[in-house]
Amino acid sequence: MSDSVSAGGECEPRHGGAETAAELQRARQDLQRLAIMEPLTRLLHRQAFDEQVQQELADASAHGRQCTLVVIGLDGFRLLNQVYGQRVGDRILQAVAARLRNFVREPNLLGRRGGDEFVALLRDIADADAAMGATREMLAAIQRLERVGNLEVQVDASAGVVLFPADGGDIDSLMEAGDGALARAKREGGRRCARFSADLGRAKDLRIRLEQRLRRACEARDFRLLYQPQVSLPDRRLIGAEALVRWNDAELGDISPAEFIPIAEASGLIDGLSDWVLREVCRQRQMWRQVGLDLPPVAINLSGVQLRSPGCVRSVLETIDEFQISPEEIEIEITETWVFDSSSLLAQENLQRLKMAGVRSVLDDFGVGASSLVQLRDLPIHRLKIDRSFTVECMRNARTLTIVKAVIDMAHNLGLTVTAEGIETADQESWMHHLGCDSVQGFYIARPMPAEDFLRRYLAERTQPTSSRSIVDGGPAVDSVQ
Ligand code: C2E
Ligand code: MG
Ligand code: MG
């Protein structure tokens, strides 16, 4: 690293004439520093960082030293910029740079490569464990609530960690490996760091390919929609269905929505995809309506990315209006993490607007995130779906059972109904009834099915008395919980 530049590359521009030789010298140095700085954060810009890393790698190589390259990205920064505007985004980047500067000191190098990506070269890190430890500390230093004017914005970050010379011999291969590791950390949920591994290269290729194929599928509207029935307890009356999108790619085969929805979210394809899902549900309902059928509501999964966008509610309402669907014929499912994230004020406002317009919202996958029932109190939702992992765990663990019981009771006290997801056995259905759950959804009741089969099921129910379908009341044997 050059002696004249600190790790943060920070300096103050000087004004006025340089009267003495010393001042002239100082002014020259300042100008040199400014030339290698990125103006917003005053960290080394991409080219300067790369040049200094190259020197550092050559030196490390000559002396048999190891270094660690850390690539840091802010979680959800694109969204944060969209929602709060670029000025707030800029302030966050400056705050993150300041915290990193405190942490990454000379002779280490620190730079910003553009967007929300920061890079650090840590010298003399002896092994992977030490590198991961240092990176975790760096992330802990960045992750906190940032106040910008009247706003409080939660800053979260992820990082990719690569070692020189083990993971790459030059700046380009190290950066590529670092980007891959960062992408993995984000894919795994963010707020974490991931180490580069050889299989990442293959994963990256697949991900790029998936995105290309998904783009084509979105253009061609090449999806299908299945409907998974939801039934009340204990009488198993059909109370609705969840619409679940399916994608079969000619080259890649069936791809799970759990895999392609995050790609659609990250690549901006989600708007078109969700629009297709909503239109498909509305079109289907319109057809049912035209033949005089009044099926129970269909729930649509709305991506959190959309729920946080300003035009979201207008677009939903315009579509249902276009198909002359009334608001109570659809429901919006939204996962807990999106609603409770600290920068999700807009999401909550949008839920409120949907409620005012008569569209009911359901909190999906409850229990997976870190939200509490207290936070549910003010949320404009009418139903809670307990995540499948809880349904399964309930059967194995008496403590989880107690928690689920408390969740159901408190939800009821808040005026919410509760659906248990992922019911796969008669015992699970029985237990959920016993615990006070209002309804269930899962393979044991019915797998996701095409619209015609869902209609058939609805018509069959209309001709069959509900009592013959109900589960045995009185609760399952207690020893089914180990
Ligand atoms: P989700 O909204 O929680 O949907 C329920 C998922 O659980 C579905 O998976 C469903 O097929 C599966 N499932 C239902 N019953 C059972 C069961 O008894 N056992 C097991 N093991 N699984 C069961 P799927 O269709 O693969 O969807 C996965 C996730 O992808 C969904 O989770 C949802 O978050 C997302 N997704 C699906 N369709 C859409 C969509 O149209 N738009 C958006 N934004 N997300 C969607
Ligand atoms: Mg759902
Ligand atoms: Mg769910």
Last residue of a domain, one of 163, 196, 229: 196
Distances (CA, A) of 478 to 271, 367, 393, 430, 440: 47, 23, 15, 11, 20
Residue 138: domain span: 33-196
Rounded to whole angstroms, the Cα distance separating 349 from 344 reads 9
Is the same domain home to 180 and 223?
no
Domain count, the chain: 2
User: What is the pLDDT, as a whole number, of residue 201?
Assistant: 64
Sign of the CA dihedral with 209 first, then 211, 217, and 219 last: negative
Identify which of 260, 301, 302, 364 to mutate to test ligand 1's pocket (most ligand atoms within 8 A of the CB).
301
Atom of ligand 1 nearest to the CA of 303: 44
What are the 10-residue block averages of pLDDT along the chain, 482 residues in total? Answer: 39 53 79 80 93 94 92 84 78 95 92 93 87 94 86 88 91 91 86 83 76 93 96 96 95 89 89 95 96 95 86 94 96 80 74 95 78 73 90 79 86 94 94 96 97 95 67 44 34
297 and 370 within one domain: yes
Q: What is the pLDDT of residue 203?
A: 67
Asked, for residue 5, whether it belongs to a domain, the answer is no
Which residue's entry shows tokens 């802010």?
Answer: 74
- pTM of the entire structure? 0.65
Assess whether 254 and 185 both reside in one domain. Answer: no
If one residue of 225, 228, 244 were mutated to test the ligand 1 pocket, choosing by the most ligand atoms within 8 A of its CB, it would be 244
Asked if residue 271 belongs to a domain, the reply is yes
pLDDT on residue 3: 34
Atom of ligand 1 nearest to the CA of 226: 25
Query: Residues 210, 216, 220, CA angle at the centre, nearest 5°?
Result: 140
CB count in 10 Å sphere of residue 334? 25
Is residue 371 one of the residues assigned to a domain?
A: yes
